[in-house]
Amino acid sequence: MRLFVILCLLFSMSSRLLYGQPCQQEQPQNKQRSDLLEGFLWQSQQAKLITQDKGIALLRQETDSLGREVWTLTPHLDDSYREEKSLPRSYYQINGVVILIWKEADLDQPLDSLQKQQLLTCLKEVVGSRITPKPPVEENWEWARVAETDEQGRPKLDANRQVIKQKVKVKQTISSGGPTRSQFVFGKDGSVRKYLISSI
């Protein structure tokens, strides 16, 4: 039994040495980028998309057809990021809020099952209680009362000439009422353009 425990410990240590730290904390490259992140988090908190103790941000770092670096930032409240084909492998921590980072280069380095599990465990520790489990599909529906209709599509009326309504399940429509994502395009001349992307 003791030998088995020792072998398990050695395997765990060798895996960490082979694969390195599953997820790594980074710092913004300069004050300009740090200010952009802080500004985005402040706006998300003002819109109540992120609070002091709940919510994280997702950051995708890509390159457009002109060779410019593009950042897309999205506030996030649940753990659905874990279901994505590619997982974030690094993060920022700004004013207590975690920002998970997807990098374009990581897409060319697929993970095996052990690496993926280690990464998921690391990310779970990093975000802690700031996110909630993704709600089941059932919670994406709600009950509503709609008018019953006859064969011609006209509302049915009761004896008091009131429209007869029935209780049915309908799909919820969720909208933040405004922009939910911010996109920053970094020009090669040092300029930065910001775009707001509204939810559908």
Site of tokens 């970094």 = 186
Question: 99 vs 167, which has greater pLDDT?
Answer: 99
pLDDT value of residue 177: 42
CA 43 remoteness from chain centre: 17
Question: 156 vs 150, which has greater pLDDT?
Answer: 156
User: Could you give the residue ranges of the DSSP H alpha helices within 20-164?
Assistant: 31-46, 113-127
Confidence of residue 125 (pLDDT cuts 50, 70, 90): very high
pLDDT beyond 80 at 32: yes
Do residues 101 and 37 touch, judged by C-beta distance below 8 A? no
Sign of CA dihedral 7, 13, 18, 21: positive
Confidence of residue 196 (pLDDT cuts 50, 70, 90): confident
DSSP-based three-state secondary structure for 98: strand
Burial of 75 (0-12, 13-18, 19+ CB in 10 A): buried
Phi, psi of 27 (to 5 degrees): -120, 145
pLDDT value of residue 71: 93
Site of tokens 């300009």 = 32
Site of tokens 């895996």 = 15
76-80, 159-163, 169-173: which is most confident: 76-80
pLDDT beyond 80 at 135: no
pLDDT value of residue 75: 93
Please state, in angstroms and rounded to a whole number, the distance separating the CA atoms of residues 73 and 182: 5
Question: 146 vs 85, which has greater pLDDT?
Answer: 85
Closest CA to 174 of 77, 90, 108: 77
Token code pair at residue 92: 């920022």
pLDDT value of residue 200: 41
pLDDT beyond 80 at 33: yes
pLDDT value of residue 133: 84
Share of the chain above pLDDT 70, in %: 68
